[in-house]
Amino acid sequence: MPLVAPFRTSFGTETERDVLLLRVVTPDGEGWAECVAMSDPLYSPEYVDGAADVLRRFLIPALPPNPDAHNVERALHPFKGHRMAKTALQTAVLDAQLRAGGQSLASFLGAANDRVPSGVSVGIMNSIPELLDAVTGYLEEGYLRIKLKIEPGNDLAPVRAVRERFGPDLLLQVDANAAYTLTDAPHLAKLDPYNLLLIEQPLAHDDMIQHAQLAQKITTPICLDESIESAAHAAAAITLGACSIINIKPGRIGGYLEARRIHDLAQAHGIAVWCGGMLETGIGRAANVALAALPGFTLPGDTSGSHRYYTTDITPPFELQDGHLAVPTGPGIGVEPLPDVLDAVTTSTEWITI
Ligand code: OSB
Ligand code: MG
């Protein structure tokens, strides 16, 4: 699916997404989920064709006879890694289970809100004027928080320009996608005066100790994304002081059950969480918006409207109302693909019977 505009991060430029959707048909009904793996293993070791392979070869054949989210999680546990593939399978089963029982995912997870505040993740631009135009457009649409992607050489100047143009009240944060090392601490400290909400994943995903050391050297709160692959990682990060905020992406950590565990753990420790994104279609977005409605999600997420990503989404589009997205109320994830749109963008289909 083509993106409305190229999305550049410190790890690469995306112009389209190769989306893997799962449709699970059980005796009780059917469910949908989206795998967030990208085409290339640049954000994480997973990639979409690898996810399809591990699903086909190992994960789907391991499904228990009467699958539900909990027994699927247990059945997939022996397989190391591949959390994006596992999330898709567990979520499709959970959607089927909830649809059969007439319960929404938001209600199942323990949502406290019927709408969630929307932030937007702004890619690295070719020039500052281009960046200021993009941010202006998003603020006019009502986005409540701006996240700037940064990388060495594209950090202080864009942050300064956006802060100067839009003033001290703008909720502003940055995401480095692991582009720095601890030796950059004095440089990253130059972001301190700009009063950022947080800096997301400044160092490598396995630099947990180094993040704790960086936290002693800068005043901007550190938020971890790539480093948090499980609730156990979240517990380690909190204990070490490696972060004071966590970006929860269900796809990265193996599912919505584990996402809820991280939420509960963080809440118990006074750590703020927010819901990240992976440029999802409406299928993945619906589930993320349900999660973001839990009470510990106290910061706006990368839960943007469908048109920030796609001209034509495969579900009815999520649209901003006063800077918020409504939490779906229907059974399961509450949305389904529009058959005609889905057909038009489908490049291949495979049925696997077990
Ligand atoms: O690091 O949060 C990230 C997109 C793809 C991969 C990684 C990231 C992102 C984003 C965009 O920042 C989030 C979104 O709007 O879906
Ligand atoms: Mg990130």
CATH at residue 49: 3.30.390.10
Establish if 174 belongs to a structural domain: yes
Q: Is the pLDDT of residue 73 over 90?
A: yes
Distance (Å) from CA 195 to ligand 1 centroid: 22
Determine, yes or no, domain membership for 332. no
Give the span between the Cα atoms of 224 and 201, in whole angstroms.
5
323 Cβ inside 6 Å of ligand 1: no
Atom of ligand 1 nearest to the CA of 147: 12
In a domain, 353, yes or no: no
Residues 78 and 188 both lie in one domain: no
Tell me the C-alpha distance between 184 and 17, whole Å: 32
Compute the CA torsion angle 60, 61, 64, 68 (nearest 10 deg).
0
Residue 299 is predicted with a pLDDT of 98
Does any ligand 1 atom lie closer than 6 A to the CB of residue 279? yes
**pLDDT attached to residue 218:** 98
CATH number at residue 140: 3.20.20.120
* Alpha carbon separation from 147 to 20, 37, 69 (Å, rounded): 26, 21, 33
pLDDT computed for residue 28 by the predictor: 81
Q: What are phi and psi of 15, to 5 degrees?
A: -115, -15
Whether 266 maps to a domain, the answer reads yes
Which DSSP symbol is given to 58?
I
Mark whether 87 and 200 lie in a shared domain. Answer: no
Mean pLDDT of the 188-199 span: 98
Domain co-membership, 94 together with 210: no
Question: What pLDDT is stored for residue 48 in this prediction?
Answer: 98
Residue nearest to atom 8 of ligand 1 (CA): 278
Complex-level ipTM beyond the 0.90 threshold: yes
Q: In this structure, are 90 and 160 located in the same domain?
A: no
Q: Say yes or no: 12 and 114 in one domain.
A: no
Same domain? For 173 and 274 the reply is: yes
Residue 317 lies inside a defined structural domain of this protein: yes
Assigned token pair, 353: 């019977």
Q: How far is the CA of 8 from the centre of ligand 2 (A)?
A: 12
Please indicate, yes or no, whether residues 227 and 246 belong to a single structural domain of this protein: yes
354 within a domain of the structure (yes/no): no
Pair 81, 113 in one domain: no
Same domain flag for 87 and 228: no
For residue 118, the tally of other CB atoms under 10 A from its CB is 27
pLDDT level of residue 285 (50, 70, 90 thresholds):
very high
| In a shared domain, residues 60 and 206 | no
Assess whether 111 and 97 both reside in one domain. no
The ligand placed nearest to the CA atom of residue 38 is 1
Determine if ligand 1 sits within 6 Å of the CB of residue 177: yes
Q: Does the residue 36 lie in any domain?
A: yes
Question: Which range marks the domain in which residue 294 is found?
Answer: 107-326
**Residue 352 within any structural domain of the chain:** no
CB of 306 shorter than 6 A to ligand 1: no
Q: What is the pLDDT of residue 26?
A: 87
pLDDT for residue 231 is more than 90: yes
Residue 149 designated active-site:
yes
Same domain, 276 and 319: yes
Instruction: For ligand 1, say whether the CB of 278 is within 6 Å of any of its atoms.
Output: yes
Domains contained in the chain, number: 2
Question: Does position 27 have pLDDT exceeding 90, yes or no?
Answer: no
**CA 278 to ligand 1 centroid distance, Å:** 5
Question: In this structure, what are the phi and psi dihedrals at residue 179, rounded to the nearest 5 degrees?
Answer: -85, -5
